Amino acid sequence: MASSFGQLFRITTWGESHGGGVGVVIDGCPPRLKLSEADIQPDLDRRRPGQSKIVTPRKESDTVQILSGISTTGRTLGTPISLWVKNEDQRSDAYNEMKDKFRPSHADYTYFAKYGIRAWQGGGRASARETIGRVAAGAIAKKILREKFGVETLAYVKQVQKISAEINPDTVKFSEVESNIVRCPNSLAAEKMIRLIEKMRREGNTVGGIIEGIARGVPAGWGEPVFDKLEADLAKAMLSLPACKGFESGSGFAGTLLTGRDHNDAFRAKDKKVYTTTNRSGGIQGGISNGETIFFRVAFKPVATVMHEQDTVDEKFANTTLKGRGRHDPCVLPRAVPMIEAMTALVLVDHALRQRAQCG
């Protein structure tokens, strides 16, 4: 089940960086939802290569086709929705050297150790192209959350290497996120981030950073006690993204520096509605949403492909060196923003259906 995610709104992705394409099957989608490719393509466009000067210049249109699950009147049938995106810009020769050598801090060696075989072209299944299926499915999840539950999911770049931005999760708007190519809604920080990424590209180097994900309008009561806590499922969702190395919810790691007296979120009530005066819990208590804004941060390591010679080994386990070539992202974050949104929406829509199932 390596390739499936979700209990009730369940997606199964497939495909490698090279071959017939990538896709996703979505099972459990509520019926009668108006849906066409036009609902999905915009998020794929935010994810695709070549969209700006700070991402990889590879040319792939990433055009999505719906193969099943939609009625002739353009509504979901309740049956599996199959989405397919063809691979286009495949230059296997750019990867010739990788045929026998493992790229450092990539998945080449571990796939080989696991399976005794690997698709060496472009990372195979470990390629970021796999996330196309997630983003496409996530677009549907976002639509359901928005239209059926009044929930908005959003993500933005919070930090690139040492450049951090102040952003208010309660008020930030999608249009602000999309107002610049790095997807940081703080325009001053955004400019610095863009300059840094451009510098990295020129130097054949890379940087990582932090994305913040949020969900607004989630009613109190979503999420499960014990193992399928909302934070647990969000953490799994995020850590399942390529290059992700950390997750923290609400006050996160910094919260460990406070004492209990200072950390607790006081409850208050107004017009029979409960709220908290602070939100160090990040909208989740005991694994269950409390009605406040859900927010969390996700750490991405710097992209492993650098245009410099590095020590590595080959498939015969002999020492050698390898220098990155081809067209790569100097920073994965601008393209990872829609991935975070997608994974957030997938977790939430699944828990929305689970809550409806058990508690009516």
Residue with tokens 């710097």: 302
Interface residues for a copy of itself in 214-273 (CB under 8 A)?
219-229, 231-240, 242, 244-253, 255-261, 263-269, 272-273
Size of the site for a copy of itself (CB under 8 A): 158
Asked if residue 170 lies in contact with residue 216, where contact means CB atoms within 8 angstroms, the answer is yes
**Least distance to a copy of itself from the beta carbon of 59, Å?**
21
324 burial type by CB count under 10 A (0-12 exposed, 13-18 middle, 19+ buried): buried
Using DSSP's 3-state secondary structure scheme, residue 110 falls into helix
**Least distance to a copy of itself from the beta carbon of 296, Å?**
9
Residue from 54, 55, 64, 119 in contact with a copy of itself (CB under 8 A): 119
Maximum Cα–Cα distance for the chain, whole Å?
70
Residue 174 or 220 with smaller CB distance to a copy of itself: 220
Rule CB under 8 A: say whether 31 interacts with a copy of itself: yes
* CA separation for the pair 12, 313 (Å, rounded): 33
Please give the angle made by the CA atoms of 61, 65 and 69, to the nearest 5 degrees.
155
Asked if residue 28 lies in contact with residue 85, where contact means CB atoms within 8 angstroms, the answer is no
Asked if residue 335 lies in contact with residue 328, where contact means CB atoms within 8 angstroms, the answer is no
**Least distance to a copy of itself from the beta carbon of 357, Å?**
4
Q: Which residues pair with 111 in a beta bridge?
A: none
Residue from 46, 62, 109, 338 in contact with a copy of itself (CB under 8 A): 109
DSSP state of 197: H
Residue 23 or 174 with smaller CB distance to a copy of itself: 23
Rule CB under 8 A: say whether 116 interacts with a copy of itself: yes
Residue 19 or 174 with smaller CB distance to a copy of itself: 19
CB count within 10 Å of CB 143 equals 18
* CA separation for the pair 225, 220 (Å, rounded): 13
Rule CB under 8 A: say whether 41 interacts with a copy of itself: no
Pattern of binders to a copy of itself over 54-83, x per CB under 8 A?
Answer: -----------xxxxxxxx--xxxxxxxx-
Tell me which stretch binds a copy of itself (CB under 8 A): 39-47, 53-61, 165-173, 282-290.
Answer: 282-290
Tell me which stretch binds a copy of itself (CB under 8 A): 19-27, 42-50, 51-59, 183-191.
Answer: 19-27
* CA separation for the pair 241, 232 (Å, rounded): 15
Rule CB under 8 A: say whether 130 interacts with a copy of itself: yes
Residue positions counted in the chain: 360
Interface residues for a copy of itself in 286-315 (CB under 8 A)?
286-291, 299-306, 308, 310-313
**Least distance to a copy of itself from the beta carbon of 48, Å?**
19
Residue 38 or 175 with smaller CB distance to a copy of itself: 38
Tell me which stretch binds a copy of itself (CB under 8 A): 30-38, 42-50, 52-60, 334-342.
Answer: 30-38
* DSSP line for 272-298: TEEEESS-TTTTEETTEE-SSPEEEEE
Comparing C-alpha atoms, which of 324, 338, 343, 337 is closest to residue 108? 324
Interface residues for a copy of itself in 161-220 (CB under 8 A)?
161-162, 200, 205-210, 219-220
Element (H, E) at 300: strand 294-300
Residue 303 or 340 with smaller CB distance to a copy of itself: 303
**Least distance to a copy of itself from the beta carbon of 44, Å?**
18
Pattern of binders to a copy of itself over 322-341, x per CB under 8 A?
Answer: --------------------
Asked if residue 338 lies in contact with residue 141, where contact means CB atoms within 8 angstroms, the answer is no
